[in-house]
Amino acid sequence: MNADKSTPKNIDEYIADFSPEIQDILQKIRAIVREAVPEAKEKISYQMPTFTLGGKNLVHFAAFKQHIGFYPTPSGTEAFQAEIAGYKHAKGSIQFPLDKPIPYELIEKIVRFRVAETPPKAKK
């Protein structure tokens, strides 16, 4: 994302700021989350595309010069230590290098894990 621009108002604006190749990756990640949890809400949080469920952050993702950052909270990285071992990661974050295939199936597994541990708010 261009640092000179203001914070995007929504995920569409965020994605539009990138090259077509990066837009494609970001749209695929967005579609994975939408398919896994259609009731999730979209927003921009921490200047990144964010999905929430029941008012709680589910996952964030962002594009950088050399990687896609995926932020499934600490529990989302702890539960997949074996699968993410080949990627640079930290507590709550994973970096998928742009010079390697993006592991969309792994992203889907992590999203589904996060959905299972983030039940929606009970209706009053």
Residues paired with residue 93 on neighbouring β-strands, in sequence order:
90
Residue-wise pLDDT for 18-35, tens only, equals 999 999 999 999 999 999
Residue 20: its H or E element: helix 20-36
pLDDT at 4 over 50: no
Q: How far apart are CA 87 and CA 65, in angstroms?
A: 16
Residue-wise pLDDT for 20-75, tens only, equals 999 999 999 999 999 999 999 999 999 999 999 989 999 999 999 999 999 999 99
pLDDT value for 79:
95
Q: What is the mean pLDDT of residues 93-122?
A: 91
Burial of 61 (0-12, 13-18, 19+ CB in 10 A): buried
Domain boundaries, the chain: 11-117
pLDDT at 1 over 80: no
Q: How far apart are CA 85 and CA 39, in angstroms?
A: 31
- Three-state DSSP class for 105? helix
Task: Calculate what percentage of the chain has a pLDDT beyond 70.
Answer: 91
Q: Give CATH for domain 11-117.
A: 3.90.1150.200
Q: How far apart are CA 48 and CA 44, in angstroms?
A: 5
Q: What is the mean pLDDT of residues 79-83?
A: 96
